[in-house]
């Protein structure tokens, strides 16, 4: 991620649906995609990282994924759950976008909506479970390094942003009880998040939580809205 100057006024918004638009007259091309998980998972994949790589550790950390009805009982969502016993458990979703301009710098804005249970059993408060968003030109993966699963990208550590992901808030709810929250980086105009596509015009989106709280966290992702803009 690198800081850049504020972009010129954007002329239009095009819903990204698998095809690219022609360059607009303002010199900025904009795409957006609304991933609503109420009816479909839209090819998002899940993963876990920052825990020991022993044969029973995924069970010990209670790592779970599901495409389920969120606890209010109204709509489906993508559920990720884990019991953080290492004070740094990372749970994430990722998805490839293709058909973009090759080797091109894009500015990304995320709006992420999810249901948080704000689990009262956490030793540290849920404001120490940090929500991060990002994108890379390579596929983000959890790989083994020295008998431990780690990410192959720079996501940062807990509250700190990295080169490939930025922190946009935490998962604490206003009342400390189960409810829906939305986090975004749209107000970060002075230092927007940028990513360069690979030679095939691809990027990988990634959204996840970096936990600094010992205990179980269960989250239900309901929507991920992403806007991409690039100078022509």
Instruction: Provide CB contacts within 8 A for 51, sequence distance 6+.
Output: 57, 58, 61, 63, 85, 86, 89, 148, 149
Per-residue confidence (pLDDT) for residue 118, from 0 to 100: 64
CB 20 within 8 A of CB 31: yes
Domain count for the chain: 1
Per-residue confidence (pLDDT) for residue 14, from 0 to 100: 33
Q: Report d(CA 102, CA 66) in Å as an integer.
A: 34
Residue % of the chain over a pLDDT of 90? 65
Domain that holds residue 74: 35-220
- What one-character DSSP code corresponds to residue 41? -
Residue 165's DSSP bridge partners are 134
The verdict on residue 63 lying in a domain is yes
The CA–CA distances, whole Å, from 139 to 61, 106, 164, 188, 224 equal 24, 17, 11, 25, 18
Per-residue confidence (pLDDT) for residue 137, from 0 to 100: 97
Q: Report d(CA 155, CA 74) in Å as an integer.
A: 33
Per-residue confidence (pLDDT) for residue 231, from 0 to 100: 75
* CATH number of the domain within which 151 lies: 2.60.120
Instruction: Provide CB contacts within 8 A for 26, sequence distance 6+.
Output: 8, 9, 10, 11
Below-50 pLDDT ranges, the chain: 1-25, 120
The CA–CA distances, whole Å, from 17 to 33, 98, 119, 128, 148 equal 7, 11, 37, 36, 38
Per-residue confidence (pLDDT) for residue 176, from 0 to 100: 67
Per-residue confidence (pLDDT) for residue 191, from 0 to 100: 77
Q: Report d(CA 106, CA 30) in Å as an integer.
A: 9
The verdict on residue 9 lying in a domain is no
The verdict on residue 66 lying in a domain is yes
The verdict on residue 5 lying in a domain is no
Model confidence pLDDT, tens digit, residues 20-44: 444 444 578 898 999 999 999 999 9
The verdict on residue 180 lying in a domain is yes
The verdict on residue 183 lying in a domain is yes
88: nearest Cα among 42, 140, 142: 142
The verdict on residue 6 lying in a domain is no
Sheet holding 45-49, edge to edge: 45-49, 90-97, 203-211, 129-136, 165-170
How far from the centroid of its chain's Cα atoms is residue 232's Cα? 26
Pair of tokens at residue 109: 């804005």
Per-residue confidence (pLDDT) for residue 26, from 0 to 100: 58
The verdict on residue 225 lying in a domain is no
* Torsion sign, CA atoms 195, 184, 132, 80: negative
């Amino acid at each position: 991620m690198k800081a850049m100057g504020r972009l010129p006024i954007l002329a239009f918004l095009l819903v990204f649906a698998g095809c690219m638009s022609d360059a607009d007259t303002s010199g900025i091309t904009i795409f957006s995609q609304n991933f609503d998980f109420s009816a479909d998972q839209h090819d998002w994949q899940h993963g876990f990282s920052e825990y020991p790589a022993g044969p029973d550790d995924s069970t010990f950390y209670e790592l779970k994924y599901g495409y389920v009805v969120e606890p209010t009982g109204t709509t489906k969502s993508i559920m990720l759950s884990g019991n953080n016993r290492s004070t740094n458990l990372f749970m994430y979703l990722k998805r490839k976008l293709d058909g973009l301009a090759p080797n091109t710098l894009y500015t990304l804005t995320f709006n992420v909506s999810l249901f948080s249970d704000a689990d009262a059993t956490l030793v540290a408060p849920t404001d120490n479970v940090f929500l991060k968003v990002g994108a890379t030109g390579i596929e983000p993966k959890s790989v083994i390094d020295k008998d431990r699963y780690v990410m192959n990208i720079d996501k940062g550590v807990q509250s700190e942003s990295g080169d490939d992901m930025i922190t946009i808030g935490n998962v604490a709810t206003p009342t400390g009880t189960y409810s829906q929250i939305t986090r975004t980086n749209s107000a970060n105009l002075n230092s927007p998040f940028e990513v360069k596509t690979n030679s095939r015009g691809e990027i990988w989106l990634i959204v996840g939580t970096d936990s600094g709280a010992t205990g179980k966290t269960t989250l239900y992702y309901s929507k991920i809205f992403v806007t991409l803009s690039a100078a022509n």
